[in-house]
């Protein structure tokens, strides 16, 4: 098992992987359609976008949490 202190990083890894997978699939199918080359093109796009998405999640998550905290009223 992975130590609990790594939970935010693991969360970011999984979330960025799933989101980038879905988005690159949609963008690839929209751009080239469904065909024999679709899967290879999709995986090529995903292999580039996942590391970028992961880095963005790690950097932007703390900023996003602060922004959300400013926008909501604390519970009583």
**Which pLDDT tens digit goes with each residue over 30-50?**
999 999 999 999 999 999 999
What parts of the chain have a pLDDT lower than 50? none
Query: CA 22, 23, 26, 27: dihedral to nearest 10 degrees?
Result: -150
The DSSP line for 47-76 is HHHHHHHHHHHHHHHHHHHHHHHHHSPPP-
Question: Residue 75: its pLDDT value, please?
Answer: 87
Q: Global pTM?
A: 0.84
- Helix 7-32 to helix 38-71 angle (10° resolution) is 130
Question: Residue 74: its pLDDT value, please?
Answer: 86
């Amino acid at each position: 098992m992975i130590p609990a202190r790594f939970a935010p990083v693991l969360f970011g890894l999984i979330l960025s992987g799933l989101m980038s997978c879905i988005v690159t699939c949609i963008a690839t199918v929209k751009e080239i359609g469904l065909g024999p080359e679709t899967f290879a093109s999709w995986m090529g796009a995903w292999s580039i976008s996942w590391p970028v998405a992961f880095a963005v999640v790690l950097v932007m998550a703390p900023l996003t949490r602060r922004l959300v905290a400013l926008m909501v009223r604390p519970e009583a």
